[in-house]
Structure 1
């Protein structure tokens, strides 16, 4: 099983309509799973699981940060089966 990391992305209005999570999975060798999300006018957040090689996960997160997305550890508020 590949390493799994849970993060919270916070997007500002200029990035809400951009396919950031799609591009992350497409351009880097990671699998993304949206666990929770909320988008309102001007801001949005996503709780995301990222699976893959540790170096690819970190490279993908650096790219996301370079876009201006805030990346924090996901603590609590996950929907579990």
Structure 2
């Protein structure tokens, strides 16, 4: 099982959408929110995703398609 750590930045029109929940339902991955800051008009989340490499690629592509900014990060994000 592989994993990715991503910083996701959401545009204002997606703040109230259950995007992370949907990822867990639509793809065979495990999601773990490591950090987040969400307000009524902006939001970002550091998300760890575990699963098979091809499934992780599908998740990243999905996020980009729905206009979520995706940035890979490395290292421990919870200290």
The TM tier, using the shorter chain, reads: over 0.9
Q: Name stretches of at least 5 consecutive residues in structure 1 with no aligned partner.
A: none
Q: Name stretches of at least 5 consecutive residues in structure 2 with no aligned partner.
A: none
TM-score (norm 1): 0.90
RMSD between aligned residues:
1.4
In structure 2, distance between residues paired with 1:47 and 1:74: 9
**Which 4+ stretches in 1 moved above 4 angstroms?**
none
Instruction: Name the counterpart of 1:78.
Output: 77
TM-score (norm 2): 0.92
CA displacement, residues 33-81 of structure 1 (integer Å, 9 cap, x when unaligned): 000000123210000000000000110110111000000012457114x
Instruction: Name the counterpart of 1:45.
Output: 44
